[in-house]
């Protein structure tokens, strides 16, 4: 089984599940975290149980996980009594963090305290790291609120060992180096167009509705990509 941790309302997640319909993929939602059947065994995680799409499954049957959920909010647990939601959200986040970090299978991308889907860096940190790698950057003090059509004129996606949409080999190399520095298997890097292009910001959750992304992630889970 492949488990996608995400929201039912996420169109990209739904497209991913549809494309993987022959790969035994299922969605684990925040609601599943409050269903009976879980058994987390940190010392031997493969012997535990999880609840995925409403049913209990053995962790040993899970061959890969896609973390498509960066954080949890009280809106994700509308079934919980309102006054208890802030506490429950915090507990669910802590549990998912521990569970995803200890799974014996491949996890894209393993969580950190800042994000359930990878490094969770803010723009300032992305720019700092990019600059240290010798990548031309847009200064943090420059406006990048989307009002400038050139802010994100170039968007490059890294999926495992494949780089999508890079306008030049140089930009592709920049994205590969940035993904390695962030220790992430997927990366979406945005550049302001120019000579040379200048890095604006990045994130680690790609557009899963793109077939190239979905296929690249599946290859990574199945072990075809390091």
User: Cα separation of 207 and 188, whole Å?
Assistant: 9
Per-residue pLDDT of the chain (226 residues; tens, 9 = 90+): 999 999 999 999 999 999 999 999 999 999 999 999 999 999 999 999 999 999 999 999 999 999 999 999 999 999 999 999 999 999 999 999 999 999 999 999 899 999 999 999 999 999 999 999 999 999 887 665 554 445 568 999 999 989 999 999 999 999 999 999 999 999 999 999 999 999 999 999 999 999 999 999 999 999 843 3
* Residue corresponding to tokens 């899970």: 62
- Alpha helix (H) ranges present in the chain? 11-19, 85-102, 123-132, 169-182, 211-221
User: Which CATH number, 3.30.70, 3.30.420, 3.40.50, 2.60.40, labels domain 2-108?
Assistant: 3.40.50
β partners of residue 66: 4, 108
What's this model's pTM, rounded to 2 decimal places?
0.89
Q: Tell me, what DSSP letter sits at residue 95?
A: H
Q: Which pLDDT score is estimated for 29?
A: 96
Query: Tell me, what's the pLDDT at 147?
Result: 47
| pLDDT on residue 142 | 66
107: which strand partners?
A: 65
Return residue ranges of the chain for CATH 3.40.50: 2-108
β-pairing, 106-108 vs 64-67, is parallel
Tokens of 132: 């240290």
- The count of other CB atoms within 10 Å of the CB of residue 202 is 26
Residues 17-35 have pLDDT tens digits of 999 999 999 999 999 999 9
């Amino acid at each position: 089984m492949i488990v996608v941790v995400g929201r039912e309302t996420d169109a990209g997640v739904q497209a991913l599940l549809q494309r993987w319909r022959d790969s035994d993929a299922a969605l684990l939602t925040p609601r599943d975290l409050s269903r009976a059947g879980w058994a987390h065994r940190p010392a031997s995680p493969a012997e535990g149980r999880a609840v995925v799409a409403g049913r209990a499954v053995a962790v040993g049957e899970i061959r890969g996980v896609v973390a498509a959920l960066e954080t949890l909010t009280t809106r994700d647990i509308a079934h919980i009594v309102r006054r208890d939601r802030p506490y429950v959200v915090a507990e669910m986040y802590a549990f998912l963090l521990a569970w995803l970090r200890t799974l014996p299978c491949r996890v894209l991308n393993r969580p950190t305290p800042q994000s359930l889907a990878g490094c969770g860096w803010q723009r300032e940190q992305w720019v700092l790291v990019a600059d240290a790698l010798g990548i031309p950057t847009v200064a943090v003090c420059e406006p990048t609120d989307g009002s400038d059509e050139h802010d994100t004129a170039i968007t490059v996606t890294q999926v495992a060992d494949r780089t999508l949409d890079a306008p030049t080999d140089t930009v592709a190399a920049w994205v590969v180096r940035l993904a390695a520095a962030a220790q992430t298997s997927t990366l979406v890097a945005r550049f302001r167009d120019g000579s040379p292009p200048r890095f604006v910001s990045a994130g680690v959750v790609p557009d899963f509705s793109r077939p190239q992304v979905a296929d690249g992630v599946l290859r990574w889970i199945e072990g075809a990509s390091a």
